[in-house]
Amino acid sequence: MTDTTTRGTGTEPAPDDVVLGRYRLVDRMADSAGSTLWNAYDQRLRRAVSVRLTPLGTPLAARLRDAATRASAVTDRRVVPILDIVEDTECGCLVVVSEWVTGTPLGESLSERKGEPLPAADAATLALEVARFLAAAHAAGVTHGHLRPNAVTITDTGEVRVRGLGVDQALYGVEPDIEPHLADVHAAGAVLFAGLTGRWPGGAGVAQMPDAPRLPGGRTPWPSRVVADVPADLDEIAARALQTTSPPKGREHFTSADEVVAALTSALAIPAVAASTPSRARGAGRTVLRMVGIVLALGAVVGLAILGLKLVLGFGGTPLTSPRTDSPSGPSVAPSGAVSSAPPVVGPTDQLLPILSARDYDPYGNRQENTSQVPFAVDKDQATAWTTAHYPSSTLGGKKGVGLILDLGIARPISGLKLRLIGNGSDLVVYATDNPASPLQKFTTLATVAGASNLLTVRVPKPVTTRYVIVFFTGLPAADGSYQGGIADVKVIG
């Protein structure tokens, strides 16, 4: 065929067809609800472009025309711009031409890591770029409405580009099924969640990426419940942005992309580690984080080099905050129950394991023990706690015990626990099991502790692989004329 060949009305598009007298179709990339997406070549300007063809006279063509017209008004540097919108009567189709962006879609980039999350600062910087794009689009009165991992591309020069503005919403509807601008707030949180966990927090499957686990009621867990060592500030930002996640107690979900931008900008400006733990490497991390914050604030086009697992700036992934600098002081307890003088710090080679969920365990009572308080034991807020009921004696009025079951999601090797308990003087046993419905006598005993202080570290000499960890109180400290224990915070050490 020659360069002037055009498609006849009613025929299927094919490679080498030329539309509008200039766009030669090269590769058919996707079919969506009667619309086809092509990689094409602009023969006039001699460049690759993206061409979407939709039959005229269909409701879809009308929706796409309106969506593309609105999206073309957005000029943010991160947008994949729409170059042309033409109703071509010769080919009988709506032609939407967009820039062709060379790079790696986010979904593919994360898939290549085989479940390994991005460094926390890289994930935050990526999410900030996406959130800033969405905020700019909202300021122009446009919503994306259907942002998924492969709508975000990391270009060969490290820039973040987002395609499908408005158009994907017209094609596929809003995801999740909420008000479109809130769906975009959710999407910014989803990008952060994906970077921090390697999983996509959506109900519908995403090619190449595993879904995040789902909590009862279809809720999405916080990132820290999926992987360990998520910085607390980013954990909270993701929880407030994701509309399917329970926000922190006393806080509300974000309601605008601008709020996500402000939170991530603040997080990226935080020093990498506390000043009490200086080191040359960590000091360098703080300097780089400040550089990232300054560059992003200026809007410089430096972008990300996620393909090389680093930023263009050379950032190597030092965590934003050190998850191991807030360890309380207190006795460390071996499985024999002996109390050592060593402080219960998490060592530099320790790994904190994610706790996917927790539930109360009362096998010798009415099967419930302050159920509504259970989330307070794992919410990272040490001012809140799960507590037992009040009992008339330290031995729980003759009951053998009560406690919490911690679900790690899958069987993992564990080597200990860090606990912040309610009161001083608790007696407890730590068990492991892969079947919490079996009798307690069949559980594996990891440690037995008598007279524990409120700050406690339990160590297991040889790691035990288990999915469920049970903290079981057999003796309670005195509390206001009765006896009561509880857990304000618990961490599982891998």
What is the domain partition of the chain in residue ranges? 18-99, 105-311, 332-493
Residue 347, pLDDT score: 46
Residue 11's nearest CA partner among 75, 93, 104, 110 is: 93
Q: Do 105-311 and 332-493 share a fold?
A: no
Residue 471's nearest CA partner among 454, 449, 455, 494 is: 449
Amino acid at 310: K
Q: How far apart are CA 58 and CA 269, in angstroms?
A: 49
**φ/ψ of residue 375, rounded to 5:** -60, -25
Residue 209, pLDDT score: 77
The answer as to CATH 1.10.10.10 being correct for domain 105-311 is no
> Which fold is adopted by the domain 332-493?
Jelly Rolls (2.60.120)
- Using an 8 Å Cβ cutoff, are 490 and 355 in contact? yes
Q: How far apart are CA 131 and CA 123, in angstroms?
A: 12
Q: Helix (H, G, I), strand (E, B), or coil: what is residue 110?
A: helix
User: 455-475 and 332-333 as β-strands: parallel, antiparallel, unpaired?
Assistant: parallel
Strand order in the sheet with 35-42: 18-19, 23-32, 35-42, 47-55, 93-99, 82-88
DSSP alpha helices (H): ranges in 269-303?
280-298
> Residue 305: CB partners within 8 Å, gap ≥ 6?
154, 158, 311, 312
Class of domain 18-99: alpha beta
Which mean pLDDT values do the consecutive 10-residue runs of the chain (494 residues) have? 44 88 93 89 94 94 96 94 94 94 89 87 95 96 94 89 95 92 96 94 67 84 90 95 92 96 87 32 32 35 35 31 32 36 43 90 91 90 89 92 93 92 93 92 92 89 92 92 92 91
Token pair 């898939």: residue: 111
Residue 15, pLDDT score: 92
Q: Considering the entire predicted model, what is its pTM?
A: 0.62
